[in-house]
Structure 1
Amino acid sequence: MKISTKGRYGLTIMIALSKHNNEGPMSLKKIASDYELSDHYLEQLVPALRNAGLVKSIRGAYGGYLLAKPAEEITAGDIIRILEGPITPVEGIEDEEPVKQALWIRVRDAVKNVLDTTTLKDLSEYNESEDNDPYMFYI
């Protein structure tokens, strides 16, 4: 399974809204500017998030978007499924031989577990300086 820009940018939108949720509505132009993304592309992603009940839009000069639910009630899995579809590492798992089928099911379940236990609040409060388990690569 490969997460496309739809899923990655959708997470970016949601994290930005979560970080600024107490400041009122946030425009997509502001998010696009802050993260150096295309506002036109973000405009294509928001309707799915709005239809799923994760964001709400506020019209007017000071309008924009707000989270429709508390950040601790929205998971990364919710966002990815809305924008990317079901979480499956391999298409047609049921056609695989049992040993490979078991492997793909374990991979799928591990990815689902990470996405479904990581809330938007976790992502918006993440601080790199507090990450005590960084990956270290040696060559």
Structure 2
Amino acid sequence: MKVNTKVRYGLRAMIELGLHDEKTGIFQKEIAKNQQLSEKYLDPIISSLKASGLITNIGGKKSGYILNKPMNEISIYDIYRSFEPELSIVHCTNKPVTCFLSRICVANEFWMGLNDDITEYLKKTTLEKIVKKHMKIKNNIQKAMAINHCTN
């Protein structure tokens, strides 16, 4: 299974939105800069996140973007679904099942179970959890740099 670039960049954009003030928002240009993404490539990603109802801009074209819901109500699955119609790790997990062997194939049961496990993990992992982890790592790096600076 390979997660496509739009999903990966969509998550990065959502993390950046989660790190910023929900009243003023953040400009797309800033998201691109902070996440080291191409502004041009970010356009359709932002459009997909808006279309799925996860984000909104707060004052027209020359305004910043904000999350539409609290971070603890946005799952990684929600973000994934902004770009992909469903999670399907192999073709035989597609719904409706397209493989003629699906009723007698033991491997199909395995793939369906794995697909369900991944889906469940994405659903239970919230944007809030990811953003908190990001902030913790960033704080640890800053502390380490401060300690290193003091000892040199």
TM range (shorter): 0.7 to 0.9
1:56 and 1:67 in contact (8 A); partners too: yes
TM-score w.r.t. the length of structure 1 is 0.84
- Corresponding residue for residue 4 of structure 2: 4
Deviation at 1:28, TM superposition (A): 1.2
Q: Structure 1 residues 41 and 80 mapped into 2: Cα distance closer, same or farther (>3 Å)? A: same
Q: Which has the larger radius of gyration?
A: 2
Alpha-carbon distance between aligned partners in 2 of 1:71 and 1:45, rounded to the nearest angstrom: 18
Q: Structure 1 residues 61 and 86 mapped into 2: Cα distance closer, same or farther (>3 Å)? A: closer
Alpha-carbon distance between aligned partners in 1 of 2:60 and 2:88, rounded to the nearest angstrom: 40
Root-mean-square deviation (Å)? 1.8
- Return the match for 2:122 from 110, 115, 119: 115
Q: Structure 1 residues 92 and 65 mapped into 2: Cα distance closer, same or farther (>3 Å)? A: same
Unaligned runs of 5+ in 2: 141-152
Deviation at 1:57, TM superposition (A): 0.8
Deviation at 1:92, TM superposition (A): 3.0
The 3-state SS of whatever aligns with 2:91 is: coil
Q: Structure 1 residues 10 and 100 mapped into 2: Cα distance closer, same or farther (>3 Å)? A: same
Q: Structure 1 residues 31 and 98 mapped into 2: Cα distance closer, same or farther (>3 Å)? A: same
1:6 and 1:84 in contact (8 A); partners too: no
> Which residue identity is paired with 1:85?
P
Alpha-carbon distance between aligned partners in 2 of 1:101 and 1:77, rounded to the nearest angstrom: 22
Alpha-carbon distance between aligned partners in 2 of 1:88 and 1:98, rounded to the nearest angstrom: 17
Deviation at 1:23, TM superposition (A): 5.9
1:3 and 1:84 in contact (8 A); partners too: no
CA deviation string 1:13-67 (max 9, x = no partner): 1111011134621011111111111011111111121121110112368611000
Structure 1 runs of 4+ with >6 Å offset? none
Alpha-carbon distance between aligned partners in 2 of 1:100 and 1:51, rounded to the nearest angstrom: 36
Alpha-carbon distance between aligned partners in 2 of 1:53 and 1:23, rounded to the nearest angstrom: 17
Identity of aligned residues (%): 33
TM-score w.r.t. the length of structure 2 is 0.77
- Corresponding residue for residue 43 of structure 1: 43
Of structures 1 and 2, the one with the larger relative CO (CA 8 A, separation 6+) is: 1
Count of aligned residue pairs for this structure pair: 129
